[in-house]
Chain A
């Protein structure tokens, strides 16, 4: 602590103001970079209320009136409603399955003394090195033979499989940190193995579950390549796909400000999640990155 105070006192306010200190270059670039990001998000936000004529008047001209029609257009005419609905449904179902079967598998790998667990663990880990690109075309062939192409259930199954390696890596590490004594005591008291898992193992692991849920949620919500290859009907498209087809439509319709509104609609859930869970996402990713 003493060092910290000394360092703080080492720079006078005058130095900061005159720029002779070492502080200024740091602040300059930090403020420039964050300024650009904040400007971009706010530019998109207020432009989404403009008319298309006002759009071409430039970013320094604010909208004269809030044109909520842009949002109505994006939501209904350009079907953002359907895309959001699909994305919400697919993400929730997928994450539910991933967390359930992922935590069960991690529990088995970390708690049961069978040697074959090591092999399973490495097969799961190997998935981290496999690019989506490698599996996407063979899966397309497999799906077209098994009638899973252009179905939401097919996409959910692929997403579930795709998220397993990361989920199992983090949760196995988590279970291994937890002491086994409570679970052993519960078994001696006559609980079944499943009761032990659901009532003791899973709740104890909840910090790990939360981290994995958030990061998987972002990855599934934002996924593009699988959705692009496996979904083609308009009414089954997820939000990233829908956003792109909305943007392609404007090449002809030139209703740009509705596209701005569409983009804002797609950003809102993320901004809300980020406002509440930002710190958690940041710390979760740090843990994942260091361990990975």
Chain B
């Protein structure tokens, strides 16, 4: 008890204050201020020249077809990319937890590696791959005899978004793999031993033991993916800047362009912020749905 008494308020404040101040001023204050900013309109580049317009920005957002195109690109990445990345990550996780697979550590390190590269690095690397002149993809297609399929992959509305999506999967699949490996390792081996005695096949065990017991972690991964897919900015900005036209625009690149891009009128800070508020509401919506789904069930082994 003596120790508890010696814990003074003064020390408490000194410990806590620097963190709270910096975080409050440079993160929480702007986050709250965003709701106010989204109700204003800026004319020209003078930052002081602001005018209250109420919900006009949000009304405009509802009828902005480029914005909805951008949002549907996010949804496309979310769904198509989600199926690919979660599927692949599950496959890798199952493979790398089988006792008879060798070089597990090596595979894991290589699959995970792209995650430590910046979005800018990954974007430029894949721009090289997709380059129709000297890209690796062109030469790969030549080898398998499909050379005539070569095209400006990123300048083409059928392929551009898919190309970004594939590089996104390559970049981040390692994270979901790790998550699922950790999940699978927590499943007690007695389940598998029992199934083995009953004569279950490898695939039966994966589908009837691993996947059902992994449900909670699986959903966590899906939630992570949902949030990053909706927030995606750097990779798209580096690879195509949302082009050609607005074909690969995402909500975030559009928000950036509204404020600082070449679209006129420029410096639409209020409108850009209303897009960010929309993004926050959508991601929170997904998160709460997820929490409601998972709160009802706790897996007990």
A residues with a Cβ closer than 8 A to B are 3-4, 7-8, 10-11, 22-23, 26-27, 29-30, 33-34, 36-40, 43-44, 55-56, 58-60, 97, 100-102, 104-105, 107-109, 111-114, 120, 123-124, 126-127, 129-142, 144-145, 157-158, 160-162, 164-165, 168, 180, 183-184, 187-188, 193-194, 197, 218, 221-225, 228-229, 239-241, 243-244, 247, 256, 259-260, 263, 266-267, 270, 273-274, 278-279, 281-282, 285-286, 289-290
Contact = CB atoms under 8 A, between A and B. Distances in A.
Given A26-B95, A44-B128, A137-B276, A144 B120 contact: no
Nearest to B131: A256
B41 interface: no
**Is chain A's interface secondary structure helix, strand, loop, or mixed overall?**
helix
20 contacts: A8-B99, A43-B136, A56-B133, A58-B134, A104-B16, A113-B7, A120-B20, A131-B231, A133-B233, A133-B252, A133-B255, A180-B3, A188-B2, A218-B116, A224-B120, A244-B124, A247-B127, A266-B121, A286-B181, A286-B182
A148 to B, nearest CB: 9
A228 B256 contact: yes
Interface in B270-284: 272-273, 275-277, 279-280, 283-284
Interface in B235-285: 237-238, 251-252, 255-256, 259-260, 269, 272-273, 275-277, 279-280, 283-284
Contacts of A132: 231
Interface of B: 2-4, 6-9, 11-12, 14-16, 18-20, 22-23, 25-31, 33-34, 37, 47, 88, 91-92, 95-96, 98-101, 105-114, 116-121, 123-125, 127-129, 133-134, 136, 139, 142, 170, 175, 178-179, 181-182, 189, 193, 196, 202, 220, 224, 231, 233-234, 237-238, 251-252, 255-256, 259-260, 269, 272-273, 275-277, 279-280, 283-284, 287
Nearest to A162: B27
